[in-house]
Structure 1
Amino acid sequence: MPRIVVLPHETLCPEGAEFDAPEGQSLCDALLDNQVEIDHACGKCNACSTCHVVIREGFDSLSPPSEREEDMLDRAWGLEDTSRLSCQAKIGEEDLVVEIPRYSVNRVRERG
Structure 2
Amino acid sequence: MNIIAFTVENKHGERKEIEIPDDMGLSLMEALKASEYNILATCGGMALCATCHVQVLQGFDNLPAIGDAEYDMLDTLPDLTPESRLACQLKISEELNGAVFRLMDESDDEL
Matching residue of 1:8: 10
Q: Which structure carries more strand by proportion? A: 2
**How many percent of aligned residue pairs carry the same amino acid?**
37
Mapped to 2, the partners of 1:91 and 1:18 lie a distance apart of: 14
After TM superposition, the structure 1 = structure 2 runs for residues 1-112 of structure 1, keeping only pairs within 5 Å, are 1-10=3-12, 15-23=14-22, 25-93=26-94, 94-101=97-104, 103=106
- Point out which structure has higher relative CO (alpha carbons under 8 A, 6+ apart): 2
Equivalent residue letter for 1:36? Y
SS where residue 21 of structure 2 aligns? coil
In structure 1, list runs of 5 or more residues that go unmatched.
105-112
Mapped to 2, the partners of 1:50 and 1:101 lie a distance apart of: 9
SS where residue 77 of structure 1 aligns? coil
Equivalent residue letter for 1:74? D
Q: Which portions of structure 1, spanning 4 or more consecutive aligned residues, are displaced by more than 4 angstroms?
A: none
Superposition CA RMSD, Å: 2.0
Q: TM-score under structure 1 normalisation?
A: 0.77
Shift of 1:103: 4.1
Q: 1:91 to 1:61 in 2, by over 3 A?
A: farther
SS where residue 89 of structure 2 aligns? coil
